[in-house]
Amino acid sequence: MEQLEILCAANNQLKLIYVEGLSKLKRLATLDLHNNNIDFVPPQLGNVTQLRCFRISPGAGLNISSSWYIQKPVGLRDTAGLSNLEKITWIKLR
């Protein structure tokens, strides 16, 4: 499992992002969490520094600044705790 590079957990009614588990996936490059019930992106996700692609659908309470939509990865650097995601090349929020 530690060799996993792509994790697609879309359409699963997830409510949170389990960063502690994700951080054990040392080769994880793509994380797809769209169409869940996630309303918070923990800043600790920034510690998953090998992440290159991230997809999430805004849940009812998810509040991500518009910089995420327009200025990737610059927008991430402006979001508390996610500044370590410098390898990220693709973010989709829908």
Tokens of 53: 């692609």
Q: Tell me how far apart the 2 most distant CA atoms of the chain are, in Å.
A: 34
**pLDDT at residue 44 greater than cutoff 70:** yes
Domain extent listing, the chain: 6-92
CATH class of 6-92: alpha beta
**CA separation for the pair 92, 4 (Å, rounded):** 21
Mean pLDDT (the chain) is 76
pLDDT for 48-86, tens place per residue? 889 888 888 766 566 554 434 333 444 444 444 556 666
pLDDT range class, residue 92, cuts 50, 70, 90: low
